[in-house]
């Protein structure tokens, strides 16, 4: 039997894993810049966090669209509990970061300490969990892993 197949792909390479590093990096770096703002009160860090959250949300939306295409494209992926935990946790993380971004956009730096910092930290914890579940699908269930050996070596 073949491995569960990624529906959204380019030349046989799944797109979802190509996109997810961007929102993850942006959300983790937003947390880091929140800590820097907390420690220094320098507005640069507040601005950096706002931009990182915005870019992370845009990239998360792209990754989510591709992830849903993969989820709906193969029954075996839809039947994995890890797939639903991964997707659901990421939806929660994005909703939290959307609120986090909006509160900073409307409230300025006063929205960062302590609320924005706490929300960023919670999202980092959620991303650790959802990342674990995503890699469980790849390593244990071989989702998106090619069945064909590369004979060019």
Residue-range definition of the domain harbouring residue 131: 15-139
User: Is 148 within a domain?
Assistant: no
User: Is 118 within a domain?
Assistant: yes
Assess contact for 27 and 123: CB atoms under 8 A.
yes
Number of H helices, E strands in the chain: 6, 2
User: Is 94 within a domain?
Assistant: yes
User: Is 39 within a domain?
Assistant: yes
User: Is 89 within a domain?
Assistant: yes
3-state secondary structure of 14: strand
Per-residue pLDDT of the chain (153 residues; tens, 9 = 90+): 789 989 999 988 999 999 999 999 999 999 999 999 999 999 999 999 999 999 999 999 999 999 999 999 999 999 999 999 999 999 999 999 999 999 999 999 999 999 999 999 999 999 999 999 999 999 999 998 887 766 565
The count of domains in the chain is 1
pTM for this prediction: 0.93
């Amino acid at each position: 039997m073949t491995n569960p197949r990624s529906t959204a792909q380019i030349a046989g390479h799944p797109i979802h894993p190509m996109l997810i590093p961007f929102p993850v990096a942006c959300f983790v770096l937003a947390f880091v810049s929140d800590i820097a703002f907390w420690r220094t009160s320098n507005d640069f860090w507040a601005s950096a966090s706002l931009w990182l959250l915005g870019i992370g949300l845009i990239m998360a939306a792209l990754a989510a669209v591709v992830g849903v295409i993969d989820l709906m494209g193969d029954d075996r992926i839809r039947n994995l509990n890890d797939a639903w935990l991964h997707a659901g946790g990421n939806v929660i993380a994005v909703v939290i970061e959307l609120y986090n971004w909006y509160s900073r956009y409307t409230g300025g730096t006063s929205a960062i300490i302590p609320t924005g910092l706490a929300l960023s930290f919670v999202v980092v914890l959620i991303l650790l969990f959802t990342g674990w579940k995503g890699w469980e699908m790849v390593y244990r269930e071989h989702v998106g892993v090619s069945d064909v050996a590369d004979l060019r070596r």
